[in-house]
Amino acid sequence: MLSILSFGKIPLTASWLFIFGLVAAIDTIALCQNCTMMDTVCEFFLEVDHRLTMMRNGDLVYPKDGKIYKYDVIDTSNAIPVNLEDVITADGWENPSLTGAVNGKMPGPPIIVYEGLMVIVHVTNKLINEGLTIHWHGLFQKGTPWMDGVPFVTQCPILPGQTFTYKFKAESKGTHWYHSHLGT
Ligand SMILES: [Cu+2]
């Protein structure tokens, strides 16, 4: 399952930034290009896979007093907490559960671009046995309805191992979110 997040608006002097919050979670993939107002195209790579919550590098972690500790830490008074960035905490429940992740994160990384820019997003499905699409919620998709991410309607699902490239114009301005429309 992919979950969803939205981000706040970011005003900019002459234009607006778009922010797409993503859903599910890899640290090895460069998420984004830092696009400027001079760019006409902005390209991103999203890799969707399954991750376990409350784990860090294969080790269990647990929450205590707003911090996260390795499973074998008994006395937290002098222990160094685990970096929160390294853990998908999800709802904070201690037992690990399987979640969809984008680039290793859940929620997935934000995509921030200028209004009117052409956005290219390469989505790779690394799930074991589920197809997926990504819907760019709130975007007009004028002239590109086939990029709307609706499985079986505007496109076939992206099967495990496949990469599909979305290409659409960033409009309208504001804050939007992206999420899967399959297996959710
Ligand atoms: Cu939607």
Q: Residues 122-142: pLDDT tens digits?
A: 999 999 999 999 999 999 999
Whether the predicted pLDDT of 173 surpasses 60: yes
82 CA from centroid of ligand 1 (Å): 34
Domain edge (last residue) among 96, 129, 158:
96
Amino acid at 159: L
Over residues 141-152, the pLDDT tens digits come to 999 999 999 999
CATH number at residue 162: 2.60.40.420
Residue 2 domain-assigned? no
Q: Which residues constitute the domain of residue 74? A: 55-96
The answer to whether residues 85 and 150 belong to one domain is no
The answer to whether residues 88 and 110 belong to one domain is no
The answer to whether residues 42 and 116 belong to one domain is yes
135 CA from centroid of ligand 1 (Å): 6
pLDDT band at residue 32 under the 50/70/90 scheme: low
**Alpha carbon 65 to chain centroid distance?**
27
The answer to whether residues 86 and 157 belong to one domain is no
On the 0-12 / 13-18 / 19+ scale of CB atoms within 10 A, 184 is middle
The answer to whether residues 44 and 116 belong to one domain is yes
Whether the predicted pLDDT of 5 surpasses 80: no
Cα separation, 96 vs 116, in Å, equals 41
Cα separation, 101 vs 47, in Å, equals 8
The answer to whether residues 31 and 119 belong to one domain is yes
62 CA from centroid of ligand 1 (Å): 33
Neighbours of ion ligand 1 (CB under 5 A): 135, 137
Predicted pLDDT at 183: 64
C-alpha to C-alpha distances, 98 to 75, 82, 120, 124, nearest whole angstrom: 28, 20, 29, 19
